Every structure is written in C-alpha cells, then in structure tokens.
Amino acid sequence: GAVVSQHPSWVICKSGTSVKIECRSLDFQATTMFWYRQFPKQSLMLMATSNEGSKATYEQGVEKDKFLINHASLTLSTLTVTSAHPEDSSFYICSALGTVKNQPQHFGDGTRLSIL
C-alpha cells in the first residue's frame, strides 16, 4: 500500500531554533500534501495544503512566515518551524495525496516537536 515517511519522529530543541520536518511519499507521486497540527487529546487541525511546484495554501490563523512549506518535488514536502518557541510544541502530521482520482490520503507517522 501507499507509504508516507515523516522525519524526524521526535525533536527536542531550544527556543529560537528553526526546525525542518520532512514528508516523503515512498511509492507514489504526491501532487498534494497536507500539514496538520494535533494537540493532546484533540483532532487534527489542518495548517496548510501544499501543491507541488506552487505556493502552499494556509488555513486561517496559521502564520505563513512562521510555518514555511516547500513542496519542490512530487515526493517531498518540508515544513520548517522558524524561530520556534514553547507554544509551537505539538505533534505535526503530514499526509499525501497522489494523482489517482479519489485515492485516499495516506499519513506519515507524525513528528513530536518539543521546544524548551
């Protein structure tokens, strides 16, 4: 089945550091990737939609300068949390959608980000 790899799985870093999270589709081409944020005991909150070769579309309330998204190839999208602060600590999950019509989204295993 379709596999999405997300890396790293866990990051702990100091306040002010920028952190890059990678999302790769391993066995299919992902024209669209989604980035979600999940708080403890809550559902997924869509942050942005990333289309290959174009600018990401951010959801209302998500700072595009804070959460930089790059989708330079059909198999890789990156989310960079710039100058991270403790309030950015969260679980970030990506998902990927291929070119086949009505194909379901497949999710990565998530990245636990802890900012000290």
Residue of the chain from 78, 79, 106, 115 that contacts other proteins (CB under 8 A): 106
Contacts 24+ apart (CB under 8 A), 77-81: 77/22, 77/23, 77/30, 77/33, 77/35, 77/50, 78/20, 78/21, 78/22, 78/23, 79/20, 79/21, 79/23, 79/35, 79/47, 80/18, 80/19, 80/20, 80/21, 81/18, 81/19, 81/20, 81/21, 81/113
- Is residue 95 within the footprint of other proteins (CB under 8 A)? yes
Window 33 to 72, contacts with other proteins (CB under 8 A): 34, 42-44, 46, 49
- Is residue 102 within the footprint of other proteins (CB under 8 A)? yes
Nearest-approach distance from CB 87 to other proteins, in angstroms: 21
Nearest-approach distance from CB 32 to other proteins, in angstroms: 6
Q: Which residues make beta-bridge pairs with 41? A: none
Nearest-approach distance from CB 83 to other proteins, in angstroms: 26
Nearest-approach distance from CB 108 to other proteins, in angstroms: 5
Say how many residues touch other proteins, by CB under 8 A: 21
| Site residues, other proteins (CB under 8 A) | 4, 6, 32, 34, 42-44, 46, 49, 93, 95, 97, 102, 104-110, 112
